Structure 1
Amino acid sequence: MADPITTASAGTMPRTLEALAGHYAAGPGVSLVPLAARAHVSLRAHPDAVSAVGGALGLSLPGKPKTSVVAEGVSALWLGPEDWLLVGGTPASQMIAAIEGSGTVLHSAVDVTDRYVGIRIEGPAAEAVLSSSCPQDLRLQSFPVGAVSRSVFAKADMVIWRRGESEFELFCVRSFADYVWGLLTEAAQFPAV
């Protein structure tokens, strides 16, 4: 009997099923779309290792709170001092191998790809929908394009990334995906704009 958690096609490794596969929702001025699977790596690096680790990835790791850097197909999201989430189309194993090849031992890089489910919230009402259950100040002047932060949506921990003036990506833990999706879908029906 096949494992219901994974799927496999001829000649490929089994892959975890997408938690929100087939979901789509929209409301006045907003659309919600699950993000395609991308690699996620939790990176912690000592200040002395930041330059070498960033160089190995082909980017400069952001050093300021709530910032992000995108380069070479990898996005580095600042989550805290010495703490980043790497997101990209590059497999996590390749990102980790590049980091390991940097020559520094003052880091930790862990594949957390299957931990997160991503959702894109887009449209003029995106900020209002996300603010419906998120205490973070998401106004453009406080949370500009490129800003990233850990926060909560109702009772679910998540990472919020502002990709455009009216576009956000959020990453929640897989076990909360249906819960977050349901609340977002409900808020999208009557956004308080």
Structure 2
Amino acid sequence: MLDRSLVARRDRPLGAAPTSNDRARVAPAPAGVRLSLRVRGAEGLSSLGLGLAINRMSAEGERFSARLGPDEWLLGAGEAELETLEGEIAAALGDRFRSVVDVSHRNVAVEIAGPDAASALNAGCPLDLSDAAFPAGSATRTLLGKAEIVLLRPTAEPLYRVECWRSFATYVHGFLVEAARTA
């Protein structure tokens, strides 16, 4: 088992200050745990909220699960839930072959909300973000400007979560702030 005292601290690269206007609010999401799960087939995964179609997600409280491919999920939870989540995965999957990798140190999330959130995202994201094309519960890999992101829409509200690699966090945040100003 990994000695958690040796794990690097997960600092917030964007600080805590949100950037907002009346129509689109951009803010760093709270720090949390993110796991990349690879397992063949979705059988038996509904207990973890993973019995999803590809490009769909489910969210409850701080936890979310997004199915990004036939055998790939991105799981998120509060910072203190890493061992609990790993235990739940082990219990649900038993001896099934799988790969679970903690990518918490790699990913950073930015949230953008408000009536013009989709317009601000579309300044650099080529997807149709209308309610019909990207409804609540949608999740996908895409681009925002020059950065690869995972875009999540957890609720019917105009709220999007942009997951990106830490090295792109400042760029993605700045892009969204500028796009929100002009949306």
TM-score per shorter chain, which class?
0.7 to 0.9
Aligned to 2:69: 80
Q: What is the aligned-residue RMSD (CA, Å)?
A: 2.1
Is it true that 1:172 corresponds to 2:170 in the alignment? no
In the alignment, what sits opposite 1:122? 113
Is 1:181 equivalent to 2:173 in the alignment? yes
Stretch deviating more after TM superposition (71-80 or 181-190):
71-80
The normalised TM-score by structure 1 is: 0.82
Cα deviation code 1:17-40 (max 9, x no counterpart) = 111113321134010110111110
Which runs of 5 or more residues in structure 2 are unaligned?
A: 1-6
1:136 is displaced (CA, Å) by 1.5
Instruction: Provide the C-alpha distance between the structure 1 equivalents of 2:12 and 2:160, rounded to a whole number of angstroms.
Output: 19
Query: CA 1:62 to 1:132, structure 2 compared with 1: closer, same or farther past 3 Å?
Result: farther
Once the two structures are superposed, residues 93-116 of structure 1 have per-residue CA deviations (whole angstroms, 9 ceiling, x without a partner) of 322232223312321111111111
> Contact 1:30–1:124 at 8 Å: present in 2 too?
yes
| Per-residue Cα deviation, 1:108-160 (whole angstroms, up to 9, x for no partner) | 11111111111110100000001100111111110001111111101111111
| Corresponding letter in the other structure for 1:68 | M
Does residue 24 in structure 1 map to residue 18 in structure 2?
yes
Runs of 4+ in 1 over 4 A off after TM superposition: none
Q: Using the alignment, how far apart are the partners of 2:145 and 2:153 within structure 1?
A: 19
Cα pair 1:79 1:149 within 8 Å, conserved: yes
TM-score relative to the length of structure 2: 0.86
Q: After alignment, is 108-117 or 17-26 more displaced?
A: 17-26
How many residues align structurally?
175
Contact 2:14-2:170 within 8 A present in 1 as well: yes
Per-residue CA distance 1:5-61 (angstroms, 9 max, x = gap): xxxxxxxx86321111133211340101101111101001111xx334443x3x3x1
**Compared with structure 1, are the counterparts of its residues 92 and 54 closer, same or farther at alpha carbon in structure 2 (3 Å cutoff)?**
farther
Whether the 8 Å contact between 1:44 and 1:84 is mirrored in structure 2 is yes
Instruction: Read off the aligned partner of 1:187 and give its amino acid letter.
Output: A
User: Bigger radius of gyration, 1 or 2?
Assistant: 1
Is 1:62 the counterpart of 2:54? The answer is: no
Percent identity reads 31
* Equivalent residue in structure 2 for 1:143, among 117, 134, 144: 134
Point out the more displaced range, 27-36 or 13-22: 13-22
Question: Judging changes above 3 Å, is the alpha-carbon distance between structure 1 residues 73 and 25 closer, same or farther for their aligned structure 2 residues?
Answer: closer
Q: In 2, are the aligned partners of 1:29 and 1:123 still within 8 Å (CA)?
A: yes
